[in-house]
Structures are given as C-alpha cells and as structure tokens.
Amino acid sequence: MPSFRVLVTVTLKPEILDPAGQATHQVLQHLGYAVDNVRIGRIVTLTVEADDANSARGVAERMAQDILANPIMESFECQVDLS
Amino acid sequence: MPSFRVLVTVTLKPEILDPAGQATHQVLQHLGYAVDNVRIGRIVTLTVEADDANSARGVAERMAQDILANPIMESFECQVDLS
Amino acid sequence: MRVGVVTFPGSNCDCDTLEAFEFLDVPTKHLWYADTDLTDVDAVVLPGGFSYGDYLRSGALAAKAPMMTAIRDAIQGRDLPVLGICNGFQILTEAGLLPGALRANRHGQFRCAWQTLRVTNESPLFLGLSEGELLRLPIAHAEGSYYAPAGTLADLFMSREVWLQYVDDRGDLNTLTNPNGSLANIAGITRGNVAALMPHPERALEKAFGSEDGRRLLMAWLRGLQERSAHAS
Amino acid sequence: MQAEEVGLTSPEYMKIVELMHRKPNDLELGLFGALWSEHCSYKSTKALLSRLPHDGPHVVQGPGANAGVVRLDQDIEVAFKVESHNHPSYVEPVQGAATGVGGILRDIVAMGARPVALADLLRFGIDAHSLILLDRVVKGVGQYGNAIGIPTVIGDLAFSDTYRGNPLVNVMAVGLRSPEMHISASTARPGQWLLLVGQRTGRDGIHGASLLASRDFTEGDDDLRPTVQVGDPFLGKLLMEATLKAVSEGLLAALQDLGAAGLASATAELCDASGVGAELWLDRVPLRQKGLTAYDIMLSETQERMLLVTSDENLSQVVSIFEHQEILCSVIGHITASKELAVQYRDRPVASVRPDWLIKEAPRRPLSEAQWVSLKAPVAGGTAIAPAFDPRMVREVLSDRDVRDRRPIYRRYDSTIRSATIWGPSHDSAILRVRGSDAGLAIAVFGTGRWASVDPYAGGVGAVLLVLARLAAQGAEPLGLTDGVNAGNPDLAESYDAMAALVRGVADAARAAGVPVTGGNVSLHNETDGQAIWPTVMMGGVGRQPHPYSPLPDYLTASGDLLFLINPSELNLGGSVVALHHQGMTAFPRVDLRKVPHLLKSVSDWALSGVPRAMRAVGPGGLGAVVVRMMQGQTLAYGVEMDLKERDSDLTARLFNEVPLQWVTLVDSRDKDRAMDYWGNLGVEVTQVGVVNDTGTLSFKAQGHSWPGSTLLEAWHRPFEEGAYEP
Ligand SMILES: Nc1ncnc2c1ncn2[C@@H]1O[C@H](COP(=O)(O)OP(=O)(O)O)[C@@H](O)[C@H]1O
Ligand SMILES: [Mg+2]
C-alpha cells in the first residue's frame, strides 16, 4: 500500500483566547516588530498507509476530528502528499 | 503600508525526541490508525506591515530566527501572503 | 557582596529566591526585567517560574528582556557571575548564554519530586561542593530535558562543564532515575562564570522541608563568589 | 427574547415585571436570567445553607463574601473557599479545570489575601473515557496552579460510575493576609471610579451561569454550549500581583472578582453589598473581538479580570500599578448614590435595574423547620453484612482506586513552590509554615463518594469528621471549614432531599464539633439523562498547627513500638470499600455526635503531648489501609505484627470499617502505661492492635497470615488504568 505524508494544521478558532499568541505579540512589539494578530497553532505531520490520496485524506480528517484537534475550540486543515 | 499575512512553521529537528508526537502516535495506534512518524510542530500566524512581500519575508525570517524558533532543536519555514 | 534576583513577567520563584538569600544573610537586590541597571550587584540569579507563562517555549520570551541584554553585556564586560535556576536555566540557554536547550520532559508531564543529584565536576563556582558529592533537591518542571548536539555535549564533558547529573540514591547514573529524559542525565551545567540547574535549591534550605542541601549548594556558590572577588581585588 | 431563553420561569418573569413596573428589555432580562440563576442566586439552597454554623471565635468573615476568613493569630488571617467547575471540565477538561483554579484564586485575591495553597477534590467514573478526562483535568489543574506559582498541597480523589457523565472538579484555595489587607466588595461609595482590569473581554462562556449550570446535560445540546473559556495563568499571576499591591498600598475602596455572569454579577453584587448604584460605560470595556453587544459584554465570563473601586485621588496610582505590569486597566464607570445600575453603550442607556432586585429579590426556595427536622430521619435498609475475613482482602482494599496511591496525580502538581510546604500531598493533611508566625497552617480535605450514596446525612457527617480527625491527628486547632456541595437537579424531590440531607449532615457535625463553615459552593444539576450523581460534599478544613517544623510522624519510626487504635468503632462496614466489593452500596454508619468535641480535643492534646511517636486517622480502606500506609515511611525497614481479637466476619469489619473518629497511634513500649492512663482518664477506649517490628512485613499473629511490604505496596501503587485485585 502506498504511504502518504499528512500535514494537519490545527488553529484556535478566532473567537477563542490565545494567551500564548498574546504574550508572544507583546514581546515581538517590544522588540520593534510591527506585527499584529499573533496566533499560535499546532502542526501535526505523520505518514499514513492508504489505497490512494483520497482515502488518505479521509483518514487524516477522521484523525483530526477525533484526536488531533479539539473541535470545541480548534479548527483544522489537512494536506496530503504522496510520501 | 500594505499588510502581509505571515505563517511561520516551526518543527523539531528530526533527531530531537518529540514526546507529544509519541503520545499522539500511541493514541492513534490504539484507535487503529495505521500511522507512523508522528511529529508535532508549532505554527505561528501573524500580520506584519511592510513595503512589499520581500521585506515582509525578511521580517518574518528575522523573527523566526530571533525568537519563534530555537535553532538548536528546531527548524522553521516562512510563508508570506498579501493579507 | 550583593546578589541581584531578576523578576520577569510571570516569574514565580523570585520571592522564594530572594528570601533564600536573606535567610543566608546575603544582601539582595530585586531586579526588574525591563530595567538594565546592574551597577551595584556582584552576581545575578535568574529564578525559577513561568516567565511569560512558558508560552512559545519556556524561557524564549524572557530571553529577549532588556535585563538579559544588560546581563549579556555584564558577562562579556566584567565576567558577571550568573546562576540560573529552573526557568532561569531555560532563559540562559534560550539567550545563548549557556549551550544546549531544554526540551519537554520525555514523559510529557510536569514533574514535581525529590531528586538525588551528583556533583559530576568540581567547579570553582561552587567552593566546597566536591566531586561525587550527592545532593537531594526538589525538581518541578515540565521542560527540563537537557539537550545539546553531540559535539557540544562532548565539549561539555571534556571541559568539565557538566556540573550536576540525576542519579539514584547510591549515586549511580541510570535511566530509571532520570526524571525527564535529559541527555546523559544532565541536571546542571557551567560555562565561564555562568551556572544553571533545573532543581530548586531555594526550596531546600532546612531539614524540615526535606533537605538542607539547597543551602549547601547556595552557600558553595556564595563562597565561590567571595573567593573570586577576593582574588580579583 | 423569551424568559425561558435566559433560564427564567414565567412566574419569575412576572415578578420581574412587578419589580420594575415595566417589561424588561432583552439586556435587563439577561441580567435577571444570570443573577437569578441557581449558580448566582443559590435559589434552591440559600435557606438550607443558612442553617450551617457560621460563627466562632476565630471567624473574621463568614459566608457571603468572596471567601471565608478566619484568624490564625493576631497578625495573620486565612481566607479559604472551595469552588466547583464541574460542567466546564466535562466539556473541555484542561481549560475547565484550569479556569476553575484561576477562578477560586481570584476569590481569595478579592479578599486581599495572597493565595498560598490549592487542593483539588475530584470525582470520576471508571470507564476509559472518564480516566482520560481525569488525566486532562489533572493537566489543567497543574497547568494553572504550577504556572501561577501556587502549590497544590493536598487533594482528594474517588471513583464511581455515578460520576461518569458528571465528573466533579472542585478546587479549594487558601490565602493569607494581614488584617490591614482587609478589603471587600461592600465598601464602595458614591463618587468613586469603577475600574476593570485584566483580560480583554471576549464572547467567552456567555450564558454559562444562567444556562449551563442550571440545566441538566442531555445529548445533543451542543449549540447551547458557550464558547470555551481559556485560562491564562500568566496574566493571572500579573493580575494577582498588581491587585495585591494596590490593596496593600491602601489604594482601593472595594474589590470584586469577575466570575460567573461576569461584569453583570460583579457590578450587581458590589453595588448591592455596598448599598450604592453605578453608571457603567460599556464602550470603555476593552474588547478582544468586534461586534460584541451590550448583552455579550455584561455577561461574558472572560477569565483574568477584576473589578476595582477607587477614589479620584488614588486613581492615577492604581492605574500606574497595573501599567507597570502591562495589564489593561480601564475606568468603565462610577459609583452613584442612585441605587440604580445604569448601563450605557454607544452613548445611550441600554439597561437600568436596581442591584437589590438582581440580588436580594432573587426567588428563593423556602425551608420549613419541619423539613429541616425531617432531613435527619434515618434511612431504611442498606445495612452492611460483613463477609468472613479472607486474607486477599488486604490487597483488594489497597488496590481499590479509592485507596491506592495518588502519586501519579500529585507529582504533576508543584507542591513545593513558595518554600512553605513542610508536609505535602503524600500525607493526610498538608502543613505549611507561615512566615511571620510561630504557628503553621494545617489543611485537610475529604469528600464523600460511597459514604453519602445511601445515607447522605451520614456521609455529610462523616466528611466533616474525617477532615477534623485529620487536623486533630496533627494537634491542629480547627479554625474553619468550607464545603462544596455537588448534587443533581433540585427540582426533583429525590435529588433535592438527598442534597439537603447531606447539608444537614455537614451542619450537624460542624455544629457538634464547634467549627464554623465560613464559605463554600454549590453545584447542582449534575445529572445526565435523568440520572443524578450521588450527592457529594467536598469538605476542606484549615487549622492552626502549633509546631509546623516538627509534624507528628504518620509512619512507623521504631521497632518495638506499640500500635493502638483510639476509639475503636462498632463493627459496621457500611459504605466501605469492602462492603462495596462484596455486597454493593450500603449505608454509612451514623456516629454519636455528642462525643465529638471531647474526642477531637483529647486526640489533639495527645498529639501535642510528646508521648505518641506517630498518628494517623482512619479513613477510606479502614484500619488495614492505615497500617499499611504507615509502613511505607521512608523505607520498608519496619513491619507490623497485628494482634486483633476479632475473628471471621468481625475481623473483616474491624480491619476495614471506615467509621470516622478512629485513629491509629504509636507509642514507645515504655510509655504504654502513660498512654493507657491518658486515655483511661479521659474515658476514651483504646485497644492495642499490634507491635512494630523490623521485618518489613505485615503479619497477623493469631491467623498466621503475612505479607511482605513490597507485595502490599505493589497493590497500593497499582496504576489508575487498572482495576482492583479481586479475591
Ligand atoms: N455550600 C456552602 N456553604 C457555605 N457557604 C456557601 C456555600 N455555597 C456558597 N456559599 C457562600 O455563598 C456566597 C456566594 O458564593 P459564590 O456565588 O460561589 O461566590 P463567588 O461568586 O464569589 O465564587 C459565598 O460567600 C460562599 O462562600
Ligand atoms: Mg467571587
């Protein structure tokens, strides 16, 4: 079975407070960077065996929903490549 | 000045142990997902004001080098879009 | 001899550390992260805690504080002695003032426990702590797993800068008594006049708290300071 | 908007119209909905709770404020309270638990006290999902407590399937203040400024108070779930430091934390307590996102915010303290003499209500004397029948989740920060030194589970007595108690009665012991699909520990010492681990409350007399579990030879009953007569139950059983994922 490289990007929903982003923002500003809207998310990379890219994406999305993201505060995006 | 959306992806270098990735791997395996090489990184998104995309990328890279990633154990990639 | 203790936003062992030195009858000065004035301190302690909530990476945000720039200058300019405890260790590595990095504990959890340590190399920074001596100190951290690339690690050992290692109660190194997955069980290192450790000596000043080895360690550091300043003058 | 949408009934709506002489607008209705909710108004329990004993010689502040306060000595006062965060922790365990810790800490800070200790009291199911929730909750407690730098020094944990859909996450916080730090929410005066400090307001947890806490969870309610509140211990730390600094410099006229129902509840409570009105300018509230309505702003439960009141004269100093820590600090209104809470947004009035309508006029369930009396009625059935003793029971009990070692939990909490913890979570009570005082602080906690399942009254009594027994074992003088009541839907007679009987038990035991209950919390509607949890009370007690630097050991210290059981109980296994395993749920024994003060005093004096070598109160797992736990000390050098006169089922009942007010104490064999005289003179029964030896083994002299300590500890150390040994 071919193996696929899956990349799941998990970000806090926009309305959810992001204390880490906030503190990082504060320090970046102190250092003189003109930045805004700093948010910190997670990126999970893994390889998965599947028949084809489509089913790999299906698995990725199930995993994201199930485990990798917390649906009540986070959203996710999956990207799938042949590895 | 135009504003750019910057995405800095920070990942642990391959030789660095990733306990969170390992724990996630275990949980996924328990649930029957045929996955491997689970690694967890960080993704920092922010907006930055800059003259053009090139200088926005420059700022992003400086921030990443300076603070967003720790070169001893992490590598990073920057992506810049007009916001 | 005056010891400065820095408070970063979110530091939470700063008061314990100040009190520890007061308990040892050492004059202290409370330093604020946003200031840069180090003129009347002879040594600086970076205390434990959660500077900036340990967000992003522990120590990463505090490492950028104006006070850290001043400390870097003073290390380069006048060889300022610095002691980092727990978060202080993390800040020093993030600031590049000590080699290596502190990663998340291998088991992924915060760990609060009593831990036996061995003095691996005698250091002039800690007068009276002799090689092989065992210390019992509390640890309390989530990101205390020391890491350095192979070359750096070898250098640390070669140059006798590996200061403290996690050991079992008999003083033996083994993976079972490694509380966090540190490379080579490293708990503390030194470089030049800078030293740092993950355990908390300021919490072990009196027997009633479980051990007075923290007092021994801090006293050794103070004696080291005195000796070097006597030598210099 | 309809009354039901904010959780109000139609009679309640009619009462509002009557009070206002007009119909409320949507925002006003929302304010009533939140403040008249169970969570804010205690409508079902206020009358009941008022029956708890509140007064005592050490009480500085009883119930009604953000936390109770008792006096440790001339110069130091102790603020303490327990708080629940059950529903939020079920929805999002890490953040739910974390914000629970943050919330109770701000209650302590709102009393002008510096938090010095936390205790977590947890109840979970035993299925795989519950154990995951436990892991996440523990992570959340640690995430906040460790980062803000307050040690978690003690806790309580028990399991039962009853908590599967409604895990309980209660946290107790303890703080210290000097009497000069006295501040409250009741001292605001007209002309003073209202300041909101801390986090920017977002749409966090809106409707949390009115709906989430007032409803029972049913599958498919996802859309009603509020936006998850995220805790920020970093900002929490800065906020705590700045607030305490402002208090210590005498710059604040009044202080109130923002908890359930956010700004609505904080302003209403502050105004009502102070007997003043206020004008609020919501445009000045710093927001985290665009598009928030006045309703959102008033009811948001964004964490890490405090409401300050200060005079014009002190305003700039207060502002500069917060600016120094880079904390947002905004004047959002001023105190008026009008008795009106007038809210403006976008430069026009959007609500006008009287604070006393929101607070004092909240509907309350009455409690008649006859009802109060009936709560003590004995329960029928549920008598425990002791099974014949089987040596395998020892490991069965030690490995029960309610008894086994809690280290996997508490090692994830920083218990030594602040350098004041002399005894931490491996003991039955925590002991802290108190800077500036010769006395230390003893903290003991215990919550019911099995004990209140059949006879809630007996369970409530038992929880109070075990907390006091643990303090007494250290010779600590009890100063006050706090109670977290967790139960089902109060509108269902069965759930209400069970909860009320539990409270009556707490009241009777506390009154009998002469120890006041100075504050607490109630969490109702812990009910899923019509199934209520066992009524559960989480008790916390604080005591004055006269010799903090030399606690009386709770482990074996010398071979040859004699083991005594103080006040051996009747042979009643009711509600115990063994009864549960062998028979099912049975009624916890009722204790004769008349002898409580004498026993507690005698034990406390004994602990201080210098005669005993060690002592420990009997609790879950009974005498058997206590003896094994006393074996483990530093090493396994010592063992115990037990010499019990009971046989067969009586032996089971002797070893494993969990009746409170029993203690195991150790004395040097040369002090045997002194010990017998001491207890004989006091008329308290004691029996010798064993001798300490140096075998590292537990043995039963008459029965010929013996277990190496390592075997016993292996059972006791069983991981939480695994079930108990089955004989
Ligand atoms: N079970 C209880 N026993 C005693 N006092 C209680 C109990 N529950 C609540 N109280 C008291 O009622 C008051 C209001 O409680 P609560 O709304 O939880 O306060 P806060 O919003 O400050 O946390 C407090 O003074 C609290 O101590
Ligand atoms: Mg409050």
Distance of CA D277 to the CA centre of its chain: 33
Domain assignment of residue D368, yes or no: no
Choosing from D501, D523, D549, the residue where a domain stops is D549
- List, in sequence order, every residue forming a beta bridge with D307; answer none if it has no partner: D196, D256
User: Which of residues 13 through 32 in chain B touch A, CB cutoff 8 A?
Assistant: 21, 24-25, 27-28, 31
Residue B61's pLDDT is 97
Question: Is the domain of D594 the same as that of D488?
Answer: no
| pLDDT at D486 > cutoff 50 | yes
B43 touches chain C (CB under 8 A): no
Residue D213's pLDDT is 41
For residues C7-31, average pLDDT = 97
Q: Which of D124, D125, D104, D99 is nearest to D115 (CA)?
A: D104
Helix (H, G, I), strand (E, B) or coil at D553: coil
- Residue D606 phi/psi, 5° resolution? -60, -45
Contact yes or no for D23/D347 (Cβ under 8 A)? no
D268-321 pLDDT, tens digit per residue, is 999 999 999 999 999 999 999 888 999 999 999 999 999 999 999 999 999 999
Domain range for C93? 3-232
Question: Is the domain of D232 the same as that of D171?
Answer: no
Q: How confident is the model at residue D212 (pLDDT cuts 50, 70, 90)?
A: very low
Residue D148's pLDDT is 98
Q: Biggest alpha carbon distance in chain D?
A: 85
| pLDDT at D216 > cutoff 50 | no
Task: Find out whether the beta carbon of D301 lies less than 6 Å from any atom of ligand 1.
Answer: no
Residue D226's pLDDT is 54
Query: Average pLDDT, whole number, for chain D?
Result: 94
d(CA C163, CA C181): 17
Identify the H or E element spanning D716.
Answer: helix D709-716
d(CA D337, CA D421): 47
For residues C117-123, average pLDDT = 96
- From D21, D54, D58, D85, active-site residue: D85
What angle in degrees, to the nearest 10, is found between the helix axes of D622-632 and D648-656? 60
Smallest Cβ–Cβ distance between B34 and the set A34, A41, A48 belongs to A48
d(CA D280, CA D196): 11
CA distances from D593 to D370, D506, D535, D599 (A): 21, 12, 21, 10
Residue nearest to atom 16 of ligand 1 (CA): D521
Choosing from D518, D533, D549, the residue where a domain stops is D549
In chain D, pLDDT over 90 holds for what percent of residues? 92
For residue D39, report the distance from its CA to the centre of ligand 2, in Å: 12
- Residue B30 phi/psi, 5° resolution? -55, -40
Q: Which residues of A touch C11 (CB under 8 A)?
A: none
Residue nearest to atom 23 of ligand 1 (CA): D66
Question: Is the domain of D120 the same as that of D206?
Answer: no
Contact yes or no for D605/D477 (Cβ under 8 A)? no
Task: Find out whether the beta carbon of D100 lies less than 6 Å from any atom of ligand 1.
Answer: no
Sign of CA dihedral D640, D645, D646, D647: positive
Alpha helices in D534-621 (DSSP H): 577-582, 596-608
| pLDDT at C228 > cutoff 50 | yes
| pLDDT at A82 > cutoff 90 | no
Q: Which residues of A touch C61 (CB under 8 A)?
A: 23-24, 27
d(CA C55, CA B64): 15
Q: Which residues of D touch C62 (CB under 8 A)?
A: none
The single-letter DSSP state of residue C65 is S
d(CA D573, CA D397): 13
Contact yes or no for D37/D87 (Cβ under 8 A)? no
D428-449 pLDDT, tens digit per residue, is 999 999 999 999 999 999 999 9
Sign of CA dihedral D117, D122, D128, D133: negative
A35-79 pLDDT, tens digit per residue, is 999 999 999 999 999 999 999 999 999 999 999 999 999 999 999
- E strand map for C11-104: 28-32, 43-46, 82-85, 101-103
Domain assignment of residue D396, yes or no: no
For residues B34-57, average pLDDT = 95
Smallest CA–CA distance, residue A32 to chain D, in Å, is 16
Q: Which two tokens stand for residue D677?
A: 């005289």
Residue D610 belongs to a domain with what CATH number? Answer: 3.90.650.10
In chain C, pLDDT over 70 holds for what percent of residues? 100
| pLDDT at C233 > cutoff 70 | no
CA distances from C155 to C149, C150, C158, D100 (A): 10, 9, 5, 47
For residue D45, report the distance from its CA to the centre of ligand 1, in Å: 10
Ligand 1 atom at minimum distance from D519 CA: 27
**Which ligand neighbours the alpha carbon of D484 most closely?**
1
Residue D208's pLDDT is 55
Q: Domain B3-82's class?
A: alpha beta
| Chain C residue whose CA is closest to D551 | C208
Does the pTM of the predicted model rise above 0.90? yes
Residue D222's pLDDT is 43
Give the total number of structural domains in chain D: 3
Chains near C with 3+ CB pairs less than 8 A apart are: A, B, D
Q: Which two tokens stand for residue A62?
A: 């199930």
Residue nearest to atom 8 of ligand 1 (CA): D521
Q: Which residues of C touch B39 (CB under 8 A)?
A: none
- Residue D427 phi/psi, 5° resolution? -105, 175
d(CA B58, CA B78): 10
Residue D207's pLDDT is 60
- Residue D67 phi/psi, 5° resolution? -155, 155
Cβ neighbours for D56, distance < 8 A, ≥ 6 positions apart: D70, D479, D480, D514, D515, D516
For residue D183, report the distance from its CA to the centre of ligand 2, in Å: 13
Catalytic site includes residue D85: yes
Q: How confident is the model at residue D210 (pLDDT cuts 50, 70, 90)?
A: very low
Residue D531 belongs to a domain with what CATH number? Answer: 3.30.1330.10
D116-170 pLDDT, tens digit per residue, is 999 999 999 999 999 999 999 999 999 999 999 999 999 999 999 999 999 999 9
Identity (one letter) of the amino acid at C65? A
d(CA C180, CA C197): 13
For residues C73-88, average pLDDT = 97
Residue C136's pLDDT is 98
Domain range for D596? 552-727
Q: Do B19 and C106 touch (CB under 8 A)?
A: yes
Contact yes or no for C17/D149 (Cβ under 8 A)? no
A3 touches chain D (CB under 8 A): no
Angle, alpha carbons B68-B70-B71 (nearest 5°): 125
Helix (H, G, I), strand (E, B) or coil at D344: strand
C36-63 pLDDT, tens digit per residue, is 999 999 999 999 999 999 999 999 999 9
Catalytic site includes residue C86: yes
A29 touches chain D (CB under 8 A): no
Burial D44-74 (b: 16+ CB within 10 A, else e): bbbbbbebbbbebebbbbbbebbbbbbbbee
Q: Which two tokens stand for residue C127?
A: 């007068």
Q: How confident is the model at residue D223 (pLDDT cuts 50, 70, 90)?
A: very low
Residue A83's pLDDT is 75
d(CA D299, CA D726): 51
Q: What is the 3-state secondary structure (H, E, C) of D617-635?
A: ECCCCHHHHHHHHHHHCCC
| pLDDT at D668 > cutoff 60 | yes
Smallest CA–CA distance, residue B32 to chain A, in Å, is 10
d(CA B34, CA C118): 43
Alpha helices in D257-303 (DSSP H): 262-274, 294-299
| More confident: C57 or D213 | C57
The single-letter DSSP state of residue C11 is B
Q: Biggest alpha carbon distance in chain C?
A: 48
Domain assignment of residue D45, yes or no: no
| pLDDT at B19 > cutoff 70 | yes
Question: Is the domain of D79 the same as that of D25?
Answer: no
Q: Which residues of A touch D229 (CB under 8 A)?
A: 17
For residues D21-35, average pLDDT = 96
**Which ligand neighbours the alpha carbon of D499 most closely?**
1
Residue D470's pLDDT is 98
Angle, alpha carbons C125-C129-C130 (nearest 5°): 115
Question: Is the domain of D564 the same as that of D524?
Answer: no
Q: How confident is the model at residue D218 (pLDDT cuts 50, 70, 90)?
A: very low
How many CB atoms neighbour CB C203 within 10 A? 27
Identity (one letter) of the amino acid at D369? E
d(CA D309, CA D486): 33
Ligand 2 is an ion; its neighbours by CB within 5 Å are D 66, 107, 257, 259
Residue D646's pLDDT is 95
Give the total number of structural domains in chain C: 1
d(CA D282, CA C157): 61
